[in-house]
Amino acid sequence: MAEKIISAVAPPAVLQEDGDGSRRPVLRQPPLAELATLLPRTATYYGMGTIDTSGRIANRAVVEALGWLPGDRLEFRVESGTIVVQARPDGLAEMGRKPYVAIPAPVRHRCGLRCGDRALVVGCPANQTLVIHSVAVLDHMLCEHHAFLMGGGER
């Protein structure tokens, strides 16, 4: 069976002139994105989670990376629509036995998070911090970034 090149996947060929004056089709290489310097895997952990009916959000890998243990006290605060959770001896909430975090109702309501909502869960073990970004916050951040990428915004 002969291979078939799918035009939507392969970039269009351009004609390149050879030394003898003839022209031949050459496929252009797509531009490659710059690779960012990779941080050590322990630096930051990312995952998605869903708010359940009790206000809990879970992402096993992210929460376990923090090393929080059952009974650890947690402090919640809201910064620019984002939830910041830190292990603090005087925290008002308590880490449960399973790798999820129960977000207090007033905190969820302040951020507009409801049962079934998805959120980006970011764990920073170095400073024992869990950050929870709602889709609305992510949308705002990414729209700003995309405007910059397309030349319509400033940084």
The model carries a pTM of: 0.69
Task: Kindly state whether residue 129 falls inside one of the protein's structural domains.
Answer: yes
Q: What pLDDT, on the 0 to 100 scale, is given for residue 11?
A: 58
Residues of the chain with pLDDT under 50: 39
Tokens of 47: 């995952």
Task: Kindly state whether residue 113 falls inside one of the protein's structural domains.
Answer: yes
pLDDT, tens digit, 9 for 90 and up, residues 87-123: 999 999 999 898 889 999 999 999 999 999 999 999 9
Q: What pLDDT, on the 0 to 100 scale, is given for residue 5?
A: 58
Task: Kindly state whether residue 28 falls inside one of the protein's structural domains.
Answer: no
Q: What pLDDT, on the 0 to 100 scale, is given for residue 147?
A: 85
Q: Domain count for the chain, please give it.
A: 1
Task: Kindly state whether residue 120 falls inside one of the protein's structural domains.
Answer: yes
Q: What pLDDT, on the 0 to 100 scale, is given for residue 10?
A: 56
Q: Are 59 and 133 in contact (CB under 8 A)?
A: no
CATH, residue 108: 3.40.1550.20
Task: Kindly state whether residue 7 falls inside one of the protein's structural domains.
Answer: no
Residue 131 backbone class (left: φ over 0; alpha: ψ -120 to 50; beta: rest): beta
Domain that holds residue 65: 45-142
Phi, psi dihedrals of residue 108, rounded to the nearest 5°: -60, -45
Task: Kindly state whether residue 31 falls inside one of the protein's structural domains.
Answer: no
Report long-range pairs for 104-108 (Cβ below 8 Å, ≥24 apart): 104/55, 104/76, 105/55, 107/76, 107/78, 107/83, 108/51, 108/55
Task: Kindly state whether residue 133 falls inside one of the protein's structural domains.
Answer: yes
Task: Kindly state whether residue 80 falls inside one of the protein's structural domains.
Answer: yes
